[in-house]
Structure 1
Amino acid sequence: MIGLALGGTISTALAGTEDYEFQLVQSAVKKGDAAIVAVRLVDKRSGKLVPDAVIFAQRVDMAPDGMEMMTSPIESLPSTEPGIYRFKTSLMMPGGYRLSLGAKVQGETGSLENKLEFKATP
C-alpha cells in the first residue's frame, strides 16, 4: 500500500509526438534534379536535436503554388550530423514546395507528421 501511495504522488513528465517538430535547415533551395533539402528534428521542450528518428513517409509537392498533384521523387540520404535529416529531390522549376514527413521518434508512442514549405530558387 505504501508503494501505491507513493507511486501516486510521483509524477513523471511524459513526452508525446507534439513535443517534437521538424524544421527546415534552409527555407530556400537551388532548383535542380539533385536538390538537397535538409531538416532538423527538434525537441521543443529542450531545443535539442533528436537523432535516430525513423522516417517512414516523405513527399515533395508544389502545394504552396496551388499544384499539390505536382510531386517530385524524393530519396533519403545519410545524415551528416545527428538530428539532421537530408533528402535528395528533383526541383525542376522555381516556386513554392511542400515537404511532408512522417516519423517515429525513438521511445515515443504515436507518429510525428510535419509539413514544411520552402522555395526553390533559380
Structure 2
Amino acid sequence: MAIAFRRLRGCASALLLCTSPAWAGADDFRFEMVSTEHRVGPGVTIELLLTNLRTGEHVPDAIIYATRMDMAPDGMATMTTPVTAMPAEAPGRYRFATDITMAGGWRFSVAAKIQGEPETVTAELELRAAP
C-alpha cells in the first residue's frame, strides 16, 4: 500500500510540474530607448519600447513604478532631474517628460512590473544631450 501511495504521489507531482505555467524571467523582457539623441531643454520627451524577447511583441500595460534621470555617464550621478510619466501613444511604448539641464551623458533608469510575471523588469539606458 505504501508503494502505491508513493507512486501516486510521484505521478501527481509530475502532473503538477507539467501543467505549471512556464514563467518568464526579467531577462525575457527589454526596454529600449526610441532615440538616444536629445537636445538640452525643458519638457524633453523620452520614449521607451518594452519588448517580450520570447515573442518579439511589445508589452502593453506594464506598471512603471520607478524612474530616475541622472548624469552618471559623465561621473555626476547626483545630478538628477525629475521625470514625469506621459500617456502612451501605442501599446508597448512608454513616454516620459524630463528637463535636460545640461549637455552630456544622461542615464535613464526604469523599473516595471508586467502582469503575470513574478520578476521586476529593470533597465539603465544612456542618452546624449546636445546644446
TM-score normalized with structure 1 length: 0.90
Say if 1:9 and 1:80 are closer, same or farther in 2 by CA, change over 3 A: closer
Give the aligned CA root-mean-square deviation in angstroms. Answer: 1.9
Post-superposition Cα deviations, 1:61-101, rounded to whole Å, max 9, x if no partner, equal 00001100000111000000000000000002111000000
| Aligned match for 1:47, one of 47, 56, 75 | 56
* Structure 2 SS opposite 1:7: helix
Total equivalences in the alignment: 122
Corresponding residue of 2:102: 93
Write the letter of the residue equivalent to 2:88.
Answer: S
Larger Rg: 2
Q: Which has the higher helix share?
A: 2
Unaligned runs of at least 5 residues, structure 2: 1-7
Corresponding residue of 1:71: 80
Corresponding residue of 2:114: 105
Which whole-Å CA distance do the structure 2 matches of 1:116 and 1:73 have between them? 16
- Partners of 1:76 and 1:88 within 8 A in 2: yes
Displacement of 1:10: 2.9
Which whole-Å CA distance do the structure 1 matches of 2:82 and 2:16 have between them? 51
Q: Which moved further from structure 2: 26-35 or 95-104?
A: 26-35
TM-score normalized with structure 2 length: 0.85
Corresponding residue of 2:37: 28
Write the letter of the residue equivalent to 1:105.
Answer: I
Unaligned runs of at least 5 residues, structure 1: none
Q: Which moved further from structure 2: 61-70 or 10-19?
A: 10-19
